[in-house]
Amino acid sequence: MNRSRAPYTWLVLALTCALGASLGLGSEWVSPVDLARLVLQAIGLESVDPTLEQDRIILWSLRMPRAALMALVGASLGSSGAAYQGLLRNPLADPYLIGVAPGAALGAAIAIVFLGPTTTLGYMTVPACAFVGALVTVAVVYRMARVGNSTPVTTLILAGVAVGAFASAATSFVMLLREDQIGRVIYFLWGGFGLGGWQPVLALSPYVCAAVGTLILFARPLNALQFGDEQASQLGLDVERLKLVLIAAATLAAAAAVALTGIIGFVGLIVPHVLRVLAGPDHRRLIPFSALGGATLLLMADTLQRSLPILSRTPVGVVTAVLGAPLFLVLLRRNQKANW
């Protein structure tokens, strides 16, 4: 494949800029110079300047954990989208197509409606239930899609759509059981609970590292799978085990993200799609690229949402769609070459 390193450089640069913007912008402006000084002070390379005390608190207890959370969620969604698209050989596949989102939503709705959380600990059960809902849904989809002892891509997608529709219907049903809770359910689905601080970051990072690491390790077999199940098997891959590992890792990444920040659409769809056009179909590049690109896109969307007053009540998932969809359409129209 095109082995140039240039895309890495550009993506890291873009991520750095997005991170800088995310840390500097917001209701309170922190200049890049102050940002750099605060970082130097934190690692002890400069003596602590007491006049920056307020900025220090903003940076380390508000913006940094927020940025880290967004970057982790974006990286999860981007890389799992790339993996699903490769696995299902379908450009429309994303973490939601095979039931992750509807399953997570159902789990969350059940928790909110039936457990009626009021304490912080109670709220923490919602992401956990969303997570379980996603995993259960994907497991059901996978079981239903099996024909004999193989799992053809078409049945997997069909089962995903069918089970997803069922889960959505079930979610509506659960919401209507307790009309007074509808608002809370919708609020969660649109952006999680806006949990702050380092705790959600710490909770999310082991899942993300494990899942994205697994996807990167299995990128080369995923390349072979692009030739179809039979050729991949004849090349020496245990195709069924490979699919299971990839589905599990991609679902883990996406479900962990949904559990903490609600449903953020479009990132898992657009980022791998755009990068496939720009950097080719090799998953050894596509998956890490999509992780970097997803982190960048979500940081940008989040920064925009926090800094523009008119967006102050808009969920970040809506911002990602507004940012991503036009870009996606432009690329779709401009690019006539096969990217698969």
Q: Would you list the DSSP string of 58-125?
A: IIIIIIHHHHHHHHHHHHHHHHHHHHHHHHHT-TT--TTTTTHHHHHHHHHHHIIIII---SHHHHHH
Q: What is the identity of the amino acid at 314?
A: T
Region 124-153 residues binding other proteins, contact defined as CB under 8 A:
none
Decide: is 219 part of the binding site for other proteins (CB under 8 A).
Answer: yes
Decide: is 281 part of the binding site for other proteins (CB under 8 A).
Answer: yes
Q: Which stretch binds other proteins (CB under 8 A): 161-169, 213-221, 251-259, 321-329?
A: 213-221
Nearest to 211 by CA among 251, 263, 239, 259: 251
Decide: is 338 part of the binding site for other proteins (CB under 8 A).
Answer: yes
Among residues 282, 285, 315, 323, the one that binds other proteins under rule CB under 8 A: 282
Which of 26, 91 has the CB closer to other proteins? Answer: 91
Q: How far is the CB of 88 from other proteins (least distance, A)?
A: 13
Among residues 181, 233, 307, 314, the one that binds other proteins under rule CB under 8 A: 233
Helices (H), strands (E): how many in the chain?
Answer: 15, 0
Decide: is 302 part of the binding site for other proteins (CB under 8 A).
Answer: no
Tell me how crowded residue 183 is: count the other CB atoms within 10 A of its CB: 11
Which of 132, 157 has the CB closer to other proteins? Answer: 157
Q: Which stretch binds other proteins (CB under 8 A): 161-169, 178-186, 278-286, 288-296?
A: 278-286
Q: How far is the CB of 252 from other proteins (least distance, A)?
A: 19
Q: Which stretch binds other proteins (CB under 8 A): 15-23, 232-240, 243-251, 302-310?
A: 232-240
Decide: is 53 part of the binding site for other proteins (CB under 8 A).
Answer: no
Region 66-125 residues binding other proteins, contact defined as CB under 8 A:
89
Nearest to 190 by CA among 264, 103, 126, 131: 264
Cβ proximity of 160 and 153 under 8 Å: no
Integer Rg of the chain from CA: 21
Which of 146, 284 has the CB closer to other proteins? Answer: 284
Using the 8-state DSSP alphabet, how is residue 336 labeled?
A: -
Which single residue is written with the structure tokens 């996406």?
A: 254
Q: Which two tokens stand for residue 250?
A: 């991609």
Among residues 180, 236, 333, 334, the one that binds other proteins under rule CB under 8 A: 236
Decide: is 209 part of the binding site for other proteins (CB under 8 A).
Answer: no
Decide: is 155 part of the binding site for other proteins (CB under 8 A).
Answer: no
Decide: is 340 part of the binding site for other proteins (CB under 8 A).
Answer: yes
Using the 8-state DSSP alphabet, how is residue 43 labeled?
A: T
Q: Which stretch binds other proteins (CB under 8 A): 68-76, 155-163, 168-176, 231-239?
A: 231-239
Decide: is 1 part of the binding site for other proteins (CB under 8 A).
Answer: yes
Q: Which stretch binds other proteins (CB under 8 A): 13-21, 73-81, 159-167, 273-281?
A: 273-281
DSSP run (H or E) holding 177: helix 153-177
Distances in Å between the alpha carbon of 303 and those of 27, 67, 217, 228? 10, 9, 32, 41
Q: How far is the CB of 236 from other proteins (least distance, A)?
A: 3
Decide: is 5 part of the binding site for other proteins (CB under 8 A).
Answer: no
Q: What angle do CA 249, 111, 79 make, to 5 degrees?
A: 20
Which residues have a Cβ under 8 Å from the Cβ of 207 and sit 6 or more positions away?
A: 76, 252, 253, 256
Q: What is the identity of the amino acid at 59?
A: L
How many residues bind to other proteins according to rule CB under 8 A? Answer: 30
Residues found near other proteins in the complex (CB under 8 A) = 1-2, 89, 217, 219-221, 223-224, 226-228, 230-231, 233-239, 276, 280-282, 284, 337-340
